[in-house]
């Protein structure tokens, strides 16, 4: 019988469940004790793909060696044992009965007495965990004919590999606004224009027969004044507002290339074979 100290050793180390011929069956997962006696009754071994599933092994004939526990069963026997997700940390009566039958042991779940000699009482309807799984196709020898789920309820004969696919599109958003604004500025403009003015000229001419009559038309000695009007050009500036051009706003679509980089996740599946090297499953599609 395995002692409490040995239980603590098994749970504190990185121990394994080994077969009767000393080969590793799987790493130690949990140890289940009898609710009435507190004695260790079952140990779970991680036997599923990548250690994802746990198989129950009875401890009634087990021995402890270091951090390992050795049981008188083969790895195939343990892997083919009925499974339970034991999410509540308990095994139901039906689950224990199925395990006893698988290992060819006497079923003691219905005739054991508690510490006080009274027959055990089981709540058949208590929610202590789901029923034993492992309902997959078997041959006449009881060995499975195809792969099955060892990590929980047997739901499929294959794994589904999923991956994220990157989908890139565009969404039109408002990038800003453009506007025309008219305002007035003042500039200096220089033009050159011709201007003219009158200047006084004095002409002297001698008395001739031709102008003698005009010269003697007045008195002999008189006082007179003569004048002439002088003219000049003044520069006149006039401004007129005239339209010179039309300006309006519009849009033009320009297309350019933009590179997007994003992380995508994908599931990878690898296989484990006790007789061959572990490797990746080729997921390339034809």
Q: Is the model's pTM score more than 0.85? A: no
CA dist., res. 149 & res. 154, Å (int): 5
- Mean of pLDDT values over 184-202: 94
5-47 pLDDT tens trace:
787 777 777 788 998 888 888 888 888 888 777 788 888 888 7
Q: What is the pLDDT of residue 283?
A: 52
CA dist., res. 246 & res. 127, Å (int): 85
pLDDT classification of 247: cutoffs 50, 70, 90: very high
Three-state SS for 45? Answer: strand
Evaluate if residue 285 carries a pLDDT over 90. no
132-175 pLDDT tens trace:
333 444 444 445 556 666 665 566 678 888 999 999 998 889 99
CA dist., res. 73 & res. 84, Å (int): 19
Taking every pair of Cα atoms in the chain, the longest distance, rounded to a whole number of angstroms, is 184
Q: Could you tell me where the DSSP H helices lie in the chain?
A: 4-12, 75-79, 93-103, 212-215
CA dist., res. 93 & res. 177, Å (int): 76
Q: What is the pLDDT of residue 235?
A: 94
95-107 pLDDT tens trace:
888 898 998 888 7
pLDDT classification of 236: cutoffs 50, 70, 90: very high
User: What is the spatial order of strands in the sheet that 54-58 belongs to?
Assistant: 54-58, 40-46, 24-33, 16-18, 68-70, 63-65
In the block, residue with structure tokens 């050793």: 9
């Amino acid at each position: 019988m395995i002692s409490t100290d040995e239980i603590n050793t098994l749970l504190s180390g990185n121990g394994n469940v080994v077969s009767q011929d000393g080969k590793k069956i799987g790493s130690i997962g949990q140890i289940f004790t009898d609710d009435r006696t507190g004695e260790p009754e079952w140990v779970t071994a991680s036997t599923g793909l990548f250690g994802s599933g746990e198989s129950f092994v009875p401890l009634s004939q087990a021995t402890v060696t270091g951090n390992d526990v050795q049981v008188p069963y083969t790895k195939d026997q343990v892997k083919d044992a009925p499974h339970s997700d034991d999410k509540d940390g308990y095994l139901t009566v039906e689950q224990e009965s199925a395990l006893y039958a698988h290992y060819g042991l006497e079923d003691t779940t219905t005739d054991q007495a508690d510490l006080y000699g009274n027959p055990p009482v089981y709540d058949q309807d208590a929610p202590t965990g789901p029923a034993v799984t492992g309902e997959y196709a078997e041959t006449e020898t009881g060995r499975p004919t195809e792969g099955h789920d060892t990590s929980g309820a047997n739901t499929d004969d294959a794994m589904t590999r999923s991956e994220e696919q990157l989908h890139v599109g565009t969404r039109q958003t408002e990038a800003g606004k453009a506007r025309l604004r008219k305002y007035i500025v003042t500039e200096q403009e220089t033009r050159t224009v011709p201007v003219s003015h009158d200047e006084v000229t004095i002409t002297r001419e001698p008395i001739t027969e031709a102008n003698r009559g005009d010269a003697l038309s007045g008195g002999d000695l008189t006082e007179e004044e003569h004048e002439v009007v002088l003219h000049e050009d003044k520069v006149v500036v006039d401004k007129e507002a005239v339209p010179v051009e039309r300006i309006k706003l519009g849009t033009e679509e320009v297309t350019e290339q933009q590179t997007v980089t994003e992380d995508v996740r994908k599931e990878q599946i690898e296989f484990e074979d006790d007789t061959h090297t572990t490797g990746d499953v080729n997921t390339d599609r034809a």
